[in-house]
Amino acid sequence: MSMRVFASAALLLLLSALVLQPAYAAEPEVCTSGSYIGSDRNGRPEALRLDCAYATERDSITIYRRGDVLDSTVDWRQSLYMQQALWIFDAGSDGSANLIIDFRREGRALVAELYDDLNDDGRVSFEIQQGRPTITERAQRMPRPAWSVRVAAPDGWWVKDGRINFNLAILVDGPVRATFGPDITYTKMVLDGQPDVSVDVTDPDNNGVPNTDVRRLLMDLPSLDGYYRSNIMVNESDQDVPLQNSIVWPFLGSTFAALRGYNPTVTEVFRGRGGRSYGIVRDYHENPAPLQVEWGSSKIRYIGEFVASRGGEQQWFSYSLAATPPRASSTPNFESPFAFYDLAADQDGIPELSVRHVWYAPEDPFYANGLVKHGLRIVRYSWDQDNNQSWDYKLGLISSSPAITDTVFIGPTTLNVLPYDRLAQHVVEQPSDAVTFVAQETPNAWTSEGIYQWDDSPNLSSSYLAGVSTRIPNDDFATIAAGFRGEINLDYHQPPQLYFSPIDRKLHLLGAERGIWNSGTKGELRYRDIDRDGYLDQWSHTQVLTTSETITRSSQLNISRSHLIYSDMDGIVLRQAAVPVQSWAVTPPATHAEWQRLGAALDREEPAPVPGDLTAMAAPFVGPEQRISGATLRDYRATGEQFRFVLDLQPGFKITGAALLDRRSLAPGSYVISYDGQLRVTPLTPPALSATLADAPLTELEPNLLKLTIRNDGLEDVSDALIEVWAQPPAGTATVVTSDTVSVLGQQALTIKLPWTPRRAGAWTLTPTLRQPDQQPLSLQSAQQTVLPQQPIDAGRVIATSTSARMRPMLVTGLALFALVAALIMWQQWVRYDREVESCS
């Protein structure tokens, strides 16, 4: 029996010893020596002092063990207690504390509470009483010292077997930058004893690589203000860069400047440098210790990312304006998810594909004041095709979207987001309402978030696509930054497809309506799909040369199914040649194989001509050719096999080459050249416009549609003209009552319907007027229009509308009755004075 008790006690002691075994950090590199200092009544040391260089060349850390004694015979490396101990960090060893960490055990968990300067005196106040330090640093209006950051390891260890514990629950109180977002966020964070931010880090398989990092704003915020209420980072691989530059405790580090080893005195080093700290967002191949202290001001500045948001190639993150509470299902909005992929499968830490998926639910109050009635998806799909850390292409996919039904589990939180594994494939397989395609033509340009150009515009997603506006926001995509080539189709409605053009030997968006290549000083190349067959067929290059004088050079290349027409300031080249519309087509790469295939296909192609060299673009396509010098081309348009343009011949023009156009019919002047199986030359006639208003009965105050037919009997087109209808009432002045923008092509008629609500009845005179840029308004034929009056509303109609026939007698009786009652009461109450007196007497 006694043996059994003894064995049990021994076992318990052994287990206790194991459980209470102090957790040690990996061998510190910043601290080179340690010495035991002070001595109690028994001659045992009071503290361990480490000589380090984490901020300057002469820093120290003093460790006081709580509730136990230090053994001076033990090597100092074995006395780095991180539970039940107080660590005092003294940067510069000037005798004042810059940070104090109180390590303690709470139940099974290990907890570290970090105290920094709260009263802006550049130090953390403490007192030593009987050899034991007590923190006295207090914030204004706080009755007692309060931590700024509290780190808890529920598993009860920080480092075990060389592995760091990344199952952490961190709370932040006060203005420590712990979430990504606008700076105003930090003005809302006040040290008041109520945590402002939570950071939950998990490493479910305990392999020393954190898998998720979830941050939430906890403070009260106005419900519709645009704070990123949740930051979620997820590592989809089992690898990460090891923590760097830790200061003994693996999670503790410094801001940028300290790590880079500024050398002068402490105060000079850390104040007013203007240098950027590591901050929250990790860079590629970096993993600084996340709790970043600015030692000069003795403040914890950042809680950097445990899991990289952008600084890697197999991870995703979500920055949501809507909250994502723990232990609940929620749908994050804004960037949810923003994912990065190792498309090259080279595991070099640099992504080749970045997918930014912005999502808003129908009437999401955080977007356009909830005006958008449908779910909205805005995708930025950027990829690096040649794997040289320079983004090459980007698709902007802006579209209405059904609700997201996929779920992703992040610890106890359920998120409705597209899963990382399906995201890339999903977004390129979905039809998109509006699509932009951007190519970065300047090498070696990189951002951590892909190509920003032509993502979206407020007039697009929150107005045109929301059905608010009927105006296509082409102006928002009229220019692009130098070095970029952009293409667009705002009514796309299909999954994005790319094709390689044999003409400019570039990758294009299949179905792009137009595009622009801004090559800086080399000019601007604009291109369009004139015949609307989905392939670009017109390139116009403009270059402004500024030397002693400013010269604008322009040239244009038009490709029809049968001809190739080049024009510049010198003349025109008309070549009979069949040009294929595409070399090959491809879907945007979403997998390694697709990325490889596209790369191989591009590699097989000849290099593209320099931007603006349209003759080089036309050169590969040979055929009979006619050159006309002293001529210019304008108003090119094409439909199917047919095309048409205006040829202006100056005096002294010359025609050489094949007889494609009958040169005998040409003299100086303007001609319409058309092709409908054969080329035809017709002298140009000016626009001859006439208008007819359909006679339909109109009624006062009722919306009507005026049916207006405009006919152009001339050969010259009228493009983008403003048609106005002036209406003159009887004995009144004419005013514009409706208008629209129209193009009336040569020898064609156009019928439009214009809304008009006549404000009064009578015989109106309506006069359509056409306004063209730089031209006098052209008034067309007037028409008389009779507007019929509405039936007047009389009292009987109002009564009939507002009450039923059976109620009317009752209502009249009621009115009379209470008038009578009121009169009776007054009659009864107001009596003559003399009667009162009689009554009194």
Partner 1 sequence: MQLKQQPAPLRDSSSGFWLWVGPLIYMLLVGVYFIARTEGRWAEVDSAVFTEVTRVFIRDGRLLPTSGELYPNGYGYQAISAFVVTFTGLDVASLQQLVYPLLASCVALVALALFHELTGTRRGAVIATMLLFTQPEFLFVILRSSHEKFTRALLLLCMLWLVRSIKLHDRPWLFATHVGLFYLTAYTMITNNNLLAHSFIAAIVVVLVLGWVLARCRQHVRAQIGHLPRRLAYATLVSLGLVYLFTFYAYPPAQHDLLVLHDMWERVAALFLDMETRSTNAYAYVALGWISLQVYFLVSIANWIVLGASFVIWLGQAWRWLWRRDATVSLTSWILWLFYAGFAAQGALSVVVDASGSIGGNIQHRLFPSFSIFACGVLGAWLARWRPQRLAPLVRVGLSLGIGCVAVLSVLKATNEPLLSNKWTFYKSGELEALRWSDRYLTNADIWTEIDERLQMAFLLRVGQSVNNNFFYGGAEVQPPTRYILTTTVTQTRNRRLHHALPVPPDAMRVYDNGEAQLYHVRPQTPYQR
Region near partner 1 per CB under 8 A, out of 96-104, 151-159, 319-327, 793-801:
793-801
Distance from chain centroid for Cα 778:
46
Burial status of residue 648 (CB atoms within 10 A of its CB: 0-12, 13-18, 19 or more): middle
Out of 371, 585, 608, 742, the only residue in the binding site for partner 1 (CB under 8 A) is: 371
| Contact call for residue 828 and partner 1 (CB under 8 A) | yes
Out of 16, 759, 781, 788, the only residue in the binding site for partner 1 (CB under 8 A) is: 759
| Contact call for residue 839 and partner 1 (CB under 8 A) | yes
| Contact call for residue 223 and partner 1 (CB under 8 A) | no
Closest CA to 33 of 96, 79, 81: 79
| Contact call for residue 470 and partner 1 (CB under 8 A) | yes
Closest approach of Cβ 824 to partner 1, in Å? 7
Closest approach of Cβ 592 to partner 1, in Å? 35
Nearest to partner 1 of 315, 399 (CB atom) = 399
Q: Mask 708-747, x = binds partner 1 (CB under 8 A)?
A: ----------------------------------------
| Contact call for residue 327 and partner 1 (CB under 8 A) | no
| Contact call for residue 820 and partner 1 (CB under 8 A) | yes
Closest CA to 693 of 659, 654, 723: 723
Region near partner 1 per CB under 8 A, out of 80-88, 200-208, 460-468, 742-750:
460-468
53 vs 254: CA distance, rounded Å: 11
Question: What is the β-pairing status of strands 413-415 and 434-440?
Answer: unpaired
| Contact call for residue 801 and partner 1 (CB under 8 A) | yes
Closest approach of Cβ 818 to partner 1, in Å? 4
Out of 328, 578, 622, 823, the only residue in the binding site for partner 1 (CB under 8 A) is: 823
- Answer yes or no: are the C-beta atoms of 274 and 282 closer than 8 Å: no
| Contact call for residue 108 and partner 1 (CB under 8 A) | no
Contacts of residue 207, defined as CB under 8 A and 6 or more positions apart, other chains included, come to 163, 238
Region near partner 1 per CB under 8 A, out of 318-326, 497-505, 641-649, 829-837:
829-837
Closest approach of Cβ 841 to partner 1, in Å? 10
670 vs 291: CA distance, rounded Å: 75
Closest approach of Cβ 491 to partner 1, in Å? 6
Region near partner 1 per CB under 8 A, out of 185-193, 257-265, 577-585, 807-815:
807-815
Region near partner 1 per CB under 8 A, out of 192-200, 347-355, 370-378, 411-419:
370-378
| Contact call for residue 659 and partner 1 (CB under 8 A) | no
Out of 241, 468, 722, 752, the only residue in the binding site for partner 1 (CB under 8 A) is: 468
Region near partner 1 per CB under 8 A, out of 228-236, 345-353, 638-646, 703-711:
703-711
- Answer yes or no: are the C-beta atoms of 357 and 423 closer than 8 Å: yes
Out of 187, 548, 733, 804, the only residue in the binding site for partner 1 (CB under 8 A) is: 804
Question: Nearest 5°: CA angle at 269, between 127 and 64?
Answer: 25
| Contact call for residue 805 and partner 1 (CB under 8 A) | no
Closest approach of Cβ 492 to partner 1, in Å? 10
| Contact call for residue 755 and partner 1 (CB under 8 A) | yes
Tell me the helices (H) and strands (E) count for the chain, helix number first: 11, 50
- Please, what sign has the CA dihedral across residues 280, 284, 286, 287? positive
Nearest to partner 1 of 449, 700 (CB atom) = 700
| Contact call for residue 817 and partner 1 (CB under 8 A) | yes
Out of 122, 362, 729, 762, the only residue in the binding site for partner 1 (CB under 8 A) is: 362
One DSSP character per residue, 757-783 reads --SS-EEEEEEEEEE-TTS--EE---E
Distance from chain centroid for Cα 222:
22
| Contact call for residue 791 and partner 1 (CB under 8 A) | yes
424 vs 404: CA distance, rounded Å: 15
Closest approach of Cβ 718 to partner 1, in Å? 23
Region near partner 1 per CB under 8 A, out of 56-64, 82-90, 222-230, 830-838:
830-838
Closest approach of Cβ 820 to partner 1, in Å? 7
Give me the phi and psi of 233, to 5 degrees please: -120, 135
564 vs 557: CA distance, rounded Å: 7
- Answer yes or no: are the C-beta atoms of 630 and 585 closer than 8 Å: no
One DSSP character per residue, 771-837 reads E-TTS--EE---EEEEEEPPPPP-HHHHHHHHS-GGGHHHHHHHHHHHHHHHHHHHHHH---HHHHH
Which H or E run contains 57? none
Nearest to partner 1 of 74, 799 (CB atom) = 799
- Cα 372 to Cα 320, 369, 376, distances in angstroms: 18, 8, 8
Question: What is the β-pairing status of strands 393-401 and 375-383?
Answer: antiparallel
Out of 703, 730, 732, 777, the only residue in the binding site for partner 1 (CB under 8 A) is: 703
Question: Nearest 5°: CA angle at 675, between 673 and 681?
Answer: 30
| Contact call for residue 433 and partner 1 (CB under 8 A) | yes
Closest CA to 630 of 662, 668, 666, 674: 668
DSSP annotation of 124 reads B
Contacts of residue 814, defined as CB under 8 A and 6 or more positions apart, other chains included, come to none
Out of 140, 223, 521, 802, the only residue in the binding site for partner 1 (CB under 8 A) is: 802
Nearest to partner 1 of 550, 829 (CB atom) = 829
| Contact call for residue 827 and partner 1 (CB under 8 A) | yes
Out of 457, 582, 757, 782, the only residue in the binding site for partner 1 (CB under 8 A) is: 757
One DSSP character per residue, 644-701 reads EEEEEEEEEEEEEES-SS-GGG--SEEEEEEESSSEEEEE-----EEEEE----EETT
Closest approach of Cβ 496 to partner 1, in Å? 17
Out of 466, 684, 722, 761, the only residue in the binding site for partner 1 (CB under 8 A) is: 466
Q: State the number of binding residues for partner 1 (CB under 8 A).
A: 66
| Contact call for residue 788 and partner 1 (CB under 8 A) | no
Closest approach of Cβ 188 to partner 1, in Å? 19
Nearest to partner 1 of 121, 225 (CB atom) = 225
Question: Nearest 5°: CA angle at 825, between 824 and 831?
Answer: 95
- Please, what sign has the CA dihedral across residues 134, 138, 143, 149? negative
- Residues present in the chain in total: 841
- Answer yes or no: are the C-beta atoms of 304 and 280 closer than 8 Å: yes
Out of 373, 419, 690, 709, the only residue in the binding site for partner 1 (CB under 8 A) is: 373
| Contact call for residue 532 and partner 1 (CB under 8 A) | no
Distance from chain centroid for Cα 469:
21
Region near partner 1 per CB under 8 A, out of 494-502, 569-577, 654-662, 695-703:
695-703
Out of 7, 37, 544, 807, the only residue in the binding site for partner 1 (CB under 8 A) is: 807
Out of 145, 164, 363, 432, the only residue in the binding site for partner 1 (CB under 8 A) is: 363
Region near partner 1 per CB under 8 A, out of 159-167, 438-446, 673-681, 820-828:
820-828
| Contact call for residue 130 and partner 1 (CB under 8 A) | no
List interacting residues with partner 1 (CB under 8 A).
Answer: 362-363, 371, 373-374, 400, 433, 464-470, 472, 491, 493, 701-705, 753, 755, 757, 759, 790-793, 795, 797-799, 801-804, 807, 810-811, 814-815, 817-837, 839-840
